[in-house]
Structure 1
Amino acid sequence: MPGVQALQRSWNTEAVRPAEQFSFYREAICQAFMNLTPEWPKGAAFPARVENVQFGDGAVNRVTFPEHTVRRLPSDIAASSRRCFYLNLKLAGRCRILQDSHELSLSSGQVGIFDSDRPFTLIHDRGPVLGVASFKVPAEALNDRLGPSGSVPPTRVSDDPALGTLIVESARSLNANALRMPPADAAALFGVLLDLVALALARRSRGNAREASSFADATALALRRAIHERLREPRLTVASIATSVGISERYVHKLLARAGTSFSEFVMERRLDGVAAELRDPAHTHRDIGSIAFDWGFADLSHFTRRFKHRFGMRPRDWREGK
């Protein structure tokens, strides 16, 4: 909900003696928190850090560690309360994922997905310091997007020629800004990321069929994401959005018309939704209505009031008071 901060937790093995660092990583972090079984690495010291940020139904674990191997055993799966997929953005080093008869390699800047409900082995190498942003994707969230498609093998979704760049950019943006964004925005961006991943998986499963349609869908998602991230800019233009997405202004208008709206109407509705949410948010009761409206990109208060009443059927003040 708006006004509620994202939940953040962190662990650092540097807080314990070098000889106990790997045990702390294995027992207090991997087994108790993530239900994974790491194997003893080379040497005694094991400097590792785990930061967990939750937003909506999703979460990201940012992890840095030395070279080592991690396994997901049947006992780890049985101890888990909820099935999920891991969507990993590799930040440094390399990781090899072995699951069933599949082997997948991820290098820095690549994104791969694999299932937590089947045993796997992760071999983290090419250090000395490795890093990953691992998004925990509820299985139902991905299945709702994929439909009855069966199991998902380990897949490097960043390889998709049409969607790969969008997936990497969305994952990087969410990883970097999850704590800075309002939780509702972070959850929305997570949804966009899952939409892109699901499209990439669907494209992979059916080959190149309907490639043009899939690309248009993915570009439309990227367009809405770009507008959403810049809604508060007072002078937001079609030209600036087109440049940020890498498409023409004409294509921006075409994609929005395909969805039954226009650029100005889409921006207006999303800004009004943002103001309406903050007017009902107890965290913003100390702020006057004009300040909130200006913060959402409105420069003319009388115009804002007219549009707000037209959309919600009442004046902003009455909306805030719950009349």
Structure 2
Amino acid sequence: MAGVLLSTADIPEQRQFAHWQDYICDSLVGLDCTSPTREKFQGAICNRKFGELQLSTMTSDLMCLQRSKARIARAREDDFLVAFEGRAQSYGSQDGREAVLDVDDFALFDSTRPYDVRFKPGFKHFVLKIPRSALLSRLGNPNAVTGSRIPGGSGAGRIASQFFRELEQQLDSLDRLQADRLGQIGLDLLAAALAGMSAASNQGRSTIKTAWVTRIKVLTNSRLGDPSLSPGSIASSLGISVRYLNTLFSSEELSFDRWIWELRLQRCHAALADPSQLARSISDIALNWGFSDMAHFSRSFRQRFGCSPREARRRVTP
């Protein structure tokens, strides 16, 4: 899976910064870029897409990035961005919180609200772009920790940081299916690190509920392909009652049962839209994500996406 490299190296000097602004907006989200070095500006960003995720590696001259209200008003993006610092130091702020990121540290930013990021010379940034639904399916309240420093030196933060640092180096040697599966594992690790930070920074009953919902979501994602997955099996694994599990989910957009179905349908839809998985049959994909009744799967798929699984597959068939 080769990445797409965008660099100012071969751009005429007087146009380098303008091109860099376009590279950033095309790669991440719409951002305003400022720098004291607008002439002879050097920057490079390499984007690697796998499954529903994108991991970008970025280096450049000194600069600042801002996600402004004006940009948001014109935007269609609805993503979370996780910024990992790989070298030197960077700064970020959102929702009244500020983060100073040293090597291995990371922070979460919501593209639907203003934020800004500043870099020290010599930085190397890894940015993971995550669709909102993919993170919300694993974490109760991500916005409780936006703009906060997640330490990458120990604990769950170190595991998540090192995982994505290593994944960035190995993505070029992985096929799409391998990369997609590792991406899902990485999201679980990331959710665990963010949930730990949320629990440490808040107190009270709502924090306990958020922690429980996150544990439920992480465990459910890890067992999504098991056809025997049920509220009872998850509740039993966590040592709680099914009634309490459903109570915890009462403030979520979907009930626990409906949420499982939604996740499975999303994973099947992503697989059917992936050209690298054309060799797999529709039934194989459905069975892989926990469906056992093909007729029921087809009806649910059509109801959710407005087309049959076969029609979704046909759209990417050469």
Tell me, which stretches of 5 or more residues in structure 1 are unaligned? 1-5, 225-257, 260-279, 285-323
Structure 1 residue 157: deviation in Å?
2.7
Output the CA distance in 2 between the equivalents of 1:31 and 1:169.
Answer: 27
Structure 1 residue 8: deviation in Å?
3.1
- The amino acid across from 1:205 in the alignment is S
- Is it true that 1:187 corresponds to 2:170 in the alignment? no
Where in structure 2 are the equivalents of 1:297-312 lying within 5 Å? none
SS at the partner of 1:67? coil
What TM-score do the two structures reach when normalised by structure 2? 0.60
Where in structure 2 are the equivalents of 1:263-278 lying within 5 Å? none
Q: 2:63 maps to what in 1?
A: 68
Output the CA distance in 1 between the equivalents of 2:277 and 2:143.
Answer: 41
1:157/1:189 CA distance change after superposition, 3 Å: farther
Question: What fraction of aligned residue pairs are identical, expressed as a percent?
Answer: 22
Q: 1:170 maps to what in 2?
A: 163
Output the CA distance in 2 between the equivalents of 1:138 and 1:186.
Answer: 17
Q: 2:40 maps to what in 1?
A: 45
Structure 1 residue 32: deviation in Å?
4.2
Output the CA distance in 2 between the equivalents of 1:160 and 1:11.
Answer: 31
Structure 1 residue 58: deviation in Å?
0.2
Say if 2:104 and 2:152, in contact at 8 Å, map to a contact too. no
Say if 2:34 and 2:65, in contact at 8 Å, map to a contact too. yes
Aligned partner of 1:29 among 23, 26, 30: 23
Q: 1:106 maps to what in 2?
A: 101
SS at the partner of 1:202? helix
Say if 2:99 and 2:149, in contact at 8 Å, map to a contact too. yes
1:150/1:44 CA distance change after superposition, 3 Å: closer
SS at the partner of 2:39? coil
Tell me, which stretches of 5 or more residues in structure 2 are unaligned? 202-206, 223-236, 239-275, 281-318
- Is it true that 1:59 corresponds to 2:54 in the alignment? yes
- Is it true that 1:146 corresponds to 2:112 in the alignment? no
Structure 1 residue 92: deviation in Å?
1.7
Q: 1:245 maps to what in 2?
A: none
- Is it true that 1:158 corresponds to 2:158 in the alignment? no
Output the CA distance in 2 between the equivalents of 1:137 and 1:71.
Answer: 19
Output the CA distance in 2 between the equivalents of 1:191 and 1:101.
Answer: 30
Aligned partner of 2:127 among 119, 131, 134: 134
Q: 1:124 maps to what in 2?
A: 119
Q: 1:304 maps to what in 2?
A: none
- The amino acid across from 1:101 in the alignment is G
What's the RMSD between the two structures over aligned residues?
3.2
- Is it true that 1:198 corresponds to 2:217 in the alignment? no
**Count, aligned residues:** 215
Say if 1:30 and 1:37, in contact at 8 Å, map to a contact too. no
Where in structure 2 are the equivalents of 1:259-298 lying within 5 Å? none
- The amino acid across from 1:177 in the alignment is Q
Output the CA distance in 1 between the equivalents of 2:278 and 2:115.
Answer: 45
Say if 2:142 and 2:194, in contact at 8 Å, map to a contact too. no
SS at the partner of 2:3? strand
1:84/1:91 CA distance change after superposition, 3 Å: same
Structure 1 residue 79: deviation in Å?
3.5
